[in-house]
């Protein structure tokens, strides 16, 4: 499955970058994620509950941040296993400054699924991914707005 999308934030590239690299923030705002734990440099262990169309499952596995080009881009390497099948994905995330206070985030990658997830979830998967990314961006926007207001 091809994963791609963009979102415009009213925040600087540096600010977004720091939020994206903060494990506590991510644990709080990523949809479905119940636990995110740093287990090494740029290595995390994640536990998530995700419902994808007809199938829902409890996922656990690792996230690795690779190829870090602070504050412009990184690759998120995801390996999540569940009883309903496994997901493996590499997603490149890029931050493009549009102005001092505006940043375009874009992501592009590919996810491979197996098992029941592939067999019955494939058709709705891109819709689910879309919804989850929108939820994530909205939560990130709120997070950025809160932190900005606190700063002021």
One residue of 85, 93, 95, 144 binding other proteins per CB under 8 A: 85
Q: Is residue 47 close enough to count as binding other proteins by CB under 8 A?
A: no
- Minimum distance, C-beta of residue 118 to other proteins, in the bound complex (Å): 4
* Residue 121, H or E segment: helix 116-151
Q: Is residue 2 close enough to count as binding other proteins by CB under 8 A?
A: no
CA-nearest of 84, 92, 4, 76 to 49 is 84
Q: Is residue 28 close enough to count as binding other proteins by CB under 8 A?
A: no
Nearer to other proteins, 57 or 71 (CB): 57
One residue of 123, 149, 150, 152 binding other proteins per CB under 8 A: 123
Q: Is residue 130 close enough to count as binding other proteins by CB under 8 A?
A: no
CA distances from 150 to 48, 143, 146 (A): 29, 11, 6
- Minimum distance, C-beta of residue 135 to other proteins, in the bound complex (Å): 24
CA distance 65 to 110: 15
The residues binding other proteins (CB under 8 A) are 54, 83, 85-86, 88, 112-120, 122-123
């Amino acid at each position: 499955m091809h994963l791609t999308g963009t979102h415009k934030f009213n925040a600087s590239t540096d600010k977004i970058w720091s939020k994206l690299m903060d494990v506590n923030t991510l644990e709080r705002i990523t949809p479905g994620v119940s636990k995110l734990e740093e287990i090494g440099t740029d290595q995390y262990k994640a536990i998530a509950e995700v419902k994808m169309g007809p199938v829902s499952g409890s996922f656990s596995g690792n996230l690795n941040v690779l190829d870090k080009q602070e504050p412009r881009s990184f690759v998120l390497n995801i390996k999540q296993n569940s009883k309903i099948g496994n997901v493996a994905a590499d997603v490149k995330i890029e931050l493009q400054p549009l102005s001092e206070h505006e940043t375009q985030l874009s992501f592009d990658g590919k996810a491979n699924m197996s098992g029941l997830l592939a067999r019955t979830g494939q058709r709705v998967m891109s819709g689910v991914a879309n919804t989850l990314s929108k939820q994530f961006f909205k939560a990130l926007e709120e997070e950025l707005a809160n932190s900005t207001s606190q700063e002021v």
